[in-house]
Amino acid sequence: MRIAMIGTGYVGLVSGACFADFGHQIICVDKDEGKIAALKAGKMPIWEPGLEGLVAANVARGRLKFTTDLAEGVAGAEAVFIAVGTPARRGDGHADLTFVFEAVRELAKVLDRPTVVITKSTVPVGTGDKIAAILAEEGAPAGTTVASNPEFLREGAAIADFKHPDRIVVGADDDRARHILKEIYRPLFLNKAPILFTGRRTAELTKYAANAFLAVKISFINEIADLCEAVDADVQEVARGIGLDNRIGSKFLHPGPGYGGSCFPKDTLALLHTAREAGVEQRIVRTTVEVNDARKASMAGRVAAALGGELAGKRIGVLGLAFKPNTDDMRDSPSIPLITALLEGGASVHAFDPAAREQAEPLLPGAEFADDPNAVAEGADALVIVTEWDEFRALDLVGLAQRMRGDVLVDLRNVYDREEAEEAKLRYFGLGRPGPSAQE
């Protein structure tokens, strides 16, 4: 099937490459000439494991192409996916649909046949109705329909998630759109991936509801971690104890410095905005946002407490900058408020991340950046683990301790056990675990 993908960001590029790998003919369209030139040269705009090889293989087979020409991209397409950004709007947190509606208006003018227009972008309830209205106003071919197909991709595992999904949600109000999307995803039927057909508005809301619920789980276990510290319990064991209940599940029950990234922060705010417009209170989601904001703001205080309450003149090494491992995404990363507060407190910060340095440097102008953990530890009064990259799970703690001036390890991801750190002559401060904590 011939498919156009408008947008070559995280969702558009991963989706386009995976659809091409299914055997479809894909053209990815983007206005950014530099990005398209880079993609044609084989350079990826994002860091995602396996993506570069997947793109290269399908370009070589002639199934994946890139262009800045929208008319060329959609010519003869049976389906057009819209996968442009919907960032949180300043002031009210509502999803900014500027790029979506601009793409739709331009699309309507160049479609050469009745087409199914599908939103991959995360959009508020009712956006599909507005897209349908714009297509009609701008003279799109009669019979053009609109569907919603939200993505559920985890950064760092996006290709596996796309090819082995928990579910495929399709929001469509007509049989033709359902048929086209069923054909697009037919290769996944071999994996017995469940496909859920719903109304368009239901599909739009499903994406926000899913992310909000996962954000609730994260904020919940973070608050339980604080309680564990107060009563000398172990949050790791508490999480395992409740996670083994199949009604709850073990995923997203890992305490940390707060959630970040491209989805949870903006999607929870957008859901709250939608609820306000509908006159419906969402107290659980609102509290989740408040808990997460407070969580991220409190992390520098934990580091200060571990150092005896004083940051001025201290040298602090930070391991991990991206909001999660296996990505270079710095959007709403907990490392940003942490490092900013440490610098404001008079500390010097030396940081290392395996992938996110290029993205992080403009966001953290006061920090210095190192090429490896050893350089970060050199002369440091404290080391802080912020992102749980695999390579941080097997550090030479003895070697790092010998390079340090101080002896503090603040583990905001509970990567290590206290015994391991103490054997290396480090004072260990984790989250929600027995013994001394960074809050003491």
Cite the active site residues: 263
Closest CA to 262 of 102, 48, 19, 40: 48
Place of tokens 């201290």: 314
Closest CA to 410 of 381, 374, 372: 381
Place of tokens 């408040």: 290
The first and second tokens of residue 277, run together, are 């417009």
The first and second tokens of residue 281, run together, are 């209170």
Half-sphere exposure of 419 (CA within 13 A, CB side): 0
In sequence order, which residues have a C-beta less than 8 Å from that of residue 216 and are 6 or more positions away? 284, 285, 288
In sequence order, which residues have a C-beta less than 8 Å from that of residue 79 and are 6 or more positions away? 1, 3, 4, 115, 116, 117, 118, 180, 181, 184
One-letter amino acid identity for 291?
V
**Which residue pairs, CB below 8 angstroms and at least 24 apart, start in 293-299?**
293/258, 295/219, 295/222, 295/257, 295/258, 295/334, 296/257, 296/258, 296/260, 296/334, 296/337, 296/338, 297/337, 297/341, 299/257, 299/258, 299/334, 299/337, 299/338, 299/341, 299/412
Return the H-helix or E-strand segment holding 197.
strand 195-198
What torsion do the CA atoms of 249, 251, 255, 261 make, to the nearest 10 degrees? -140
Closest CA to 433 of 269, 252, 287, 221: 221
